[in-house]
Amino acid sequence: MTSTPSPVHVQATDADDQPEPTAELEALYQAFESELLVPLWTEIGDLMPVEPKSAALPHLWRWRNLLPMAAQAGALVPVGRGGERRAIALANPGLAGRPFATPTLWAAIQYLNPGEDAPIHRHTQHAFRFVIEGEGVWTVVNGDPVAMRRGDFLPQAGWNWHSHRNLSDQPMAWIDGLDIPFQHYTGSTFFEFGPEETDEIREAPPRSYSERLWGHPGLRPLTHLRPTPSTPLLAYRWEHTDCALSGQLTLEAEGHPATVEPGHAAVRYTNPTTGGDVLPTVRTEFHRLAPGTETATQQEVGSSVFQVFQGTGQVTVGDTSWTVEQGDLFVVPSWQPLSMTSEHGLDLFRFSDAPIFEHLHLDRGDQA
């Protein structure tokens, strides 16, 4: 039944293979335009390339540049109702000046002065915080105060009420990741302002309610037995991440399979109610390259943003290479080859839009 033909690789082009330009054709094209029509044959090279060509470009933002600007915004720009957050977003140079790190992902540095609050709101956009340095802010989610500390990952599923409070005497900055561009593009975003009063935190608890309920490996409270699309665990602490990664490298050293490739340990943050991604549209991972590691080159459908957590290394995305250091953020557009090396060790946080493709069976493995 399936007489699969052997494919012939022809070059798709925009300009070539076009019909002879004539007055009649020109008239037809004008008629198309006036009727809001566009022919496929003039667009196919752009619309249906042989492999993905993202408008986004590989790009690197330096933490040493970002942080002072955020501090400057802290001095000049109030935080409060209306603007809602003192967040400054990465704008990919291929995406027309929009505050989009990739076509689907938002990445921003958020900054809160001592004693400041970011007001309560909720939105359908899925969000997370990742803390590269500092502490002292609590994110309050539906009344549950979640401490933020270096190395912590805090997922924040859509449509939950949340605010941020700096209870310390130091400013704090961190990274926000969201699917704002995706929801903006697809027209699926709702937003609601919360009450004006700040969430009351009597004290500053070291562990959130959610961690006390959900932060035990493989143990599920009997009060919460249904799978939820997003994780109920509101903080993934650095001590666990660090321990899991060290563990993989030790297992590897003992001769057991545990790492992605030699010297390359990695974990995915998961939803304990399903084992899947923490958020329906955003994947988050932590990667550790042991000193002297050189990764294989990877290509995947969908885009990623990485932030260097600690260490240094060389990163190559497509034709671009950078030497990276703590706090630096870089973008890997869809299908751009990525490789990394590190002489002295490199820890990286990563987020991507991979769940979108997997849920829709558009991840390449599925189709190749």
Within residues 231-290, the interface with a copy of itself by CB under 8 A covers: 231, 233, 236, 240-241, 243-244, 247-248, 250-251, 256-260, 266-275, 278, 280-281, 285
Q: Which is nearer to a copy of itself, 6 or 169 (CB)?
A: 6
Which segment (24-32, 127-135, 289-297, 310-318) binds a copy of itself by CB under 8 A? 24-32
Residue choice 41, 64, 170, 320 for contact with a copy of itself (CB under 8 A)? 41
For residue 32, state whether it binds a copy of itself (rule: CB under 8 A).
Answer: yes
Residue 335, sorted as left (phi over 0), alpha (psi -120 to 50) or beta, turns out to be left
For residue 322, state whether it binds a copy of itself (rule: CB under 8 A).
Answer: no
For residue 5, state whether it binds a copy of itself (rule: CB under 8 A).
Answer: yes
Q: How far is the CB of 115 from a copy of itself (least distance, A)?
A: 18
Instruction: Determine the Cα–Cα distance for residues 324 and 169; give it in Å rounded to an integer.
Output: 30
Q: What is the DSSP letter of 137?
A: E
Pick from 350, 346, 130: which is nearest to 238 by CA?
130
Q: How far is the CB of 132 from a copy of itself (least distance, A)?
A: 16
Q: How far is the CB of 292 from a copy of itself (least distance, A)?
A: 20
| φ, ψ (nearest 5 deg) of residue 7 | -70, 145
CA distances from 114 to 165, 166, 169 (A): 9, 5, 5
Q: Which is nearer to a copy of itself, 169 or 195 (CB)?
A: 195
Q: Which is nearer to a copy of itself, 169 or 275 (CB)?
A: 275
Which segment (127-135, 138-146, 164-172, 312-320) binds a copy of itself by CB under 8 A? 138-146
Token look-up 């959610």 returns 210
Q: How far is the CB of 113 from a copy of itself (least distance, A)?
A: 14
Instruction: Determine the Cα–Cα distance for residues 350 and 284; give it in Å rounded to an integer.
Output: 6
Q: How far is the CB of 157 from a copy of itself (least distance, A)?
A: 9
Q: Which is nearer to a copy of itself, 45 or 134 (CB)?
A: 45
Residues 6 or more apart whose CB falls under 8 angstroms from that of 196 comprise 81, 119
Q: How far is CA 181 from the centre of its chain?
A: 11
Tell me which amino acid residue 205 is: P
Q: How far is the CB of 309 from a copy of itself (least distance, A)?
A: 15
Alpha-carbon Rg for the chain in angstroms: 23
User: Which pair of structure tokens corresponds to residue 214?
Assistant: 């959900």
CB 133 within 8 A of CB 151: no
Which segment (79-87, 129-137, 304-312, 337-345) binds a copy of itself by CB under 8 A? 79-87
User: Which pair of structure tokens corresponds to residue 53?
Assistant: 């060509």
For residue 301, state whether it binds a copy of itself (rule: CB under 8 A).
Answer: yes
For residue 320, state whether it binds a copy of itself (rule: CB under 8 A).
Answer: no
DSSP structure string for 312-343: -EEEEETTEEEEE-TT-EEEE-TT--EEEEES
For residue 345, state whether it binds a copy of itself (rule: CB under 8 A).
Answer: no
Q: Which of residues 157-176 bind a copy of itself (CB under 8 A)?
A: 158-159, 161
Q: What is the DSSP letter of 21?
A: P
For residue 86, state whether it binds a copy of itself (rule: CB under 8 A).
Answer: yes
- Mask: binding to a copy of itself, 92-121, rule CB under 8 A, as x and -? xx---xxx---xx---x-----------x-
Token look-up 């399979």 returns 257
Q: Which is nearer to a copy of itself, 169 or 223 (CB)?
A: 223
Q: How far is the CB of 150 from a copy of itself (least distance, A)?
A: 17
Instruction: Determine the Cα–Cα distance for residues 116 and 276; give it in Å rounded to an integer.
Output: 35
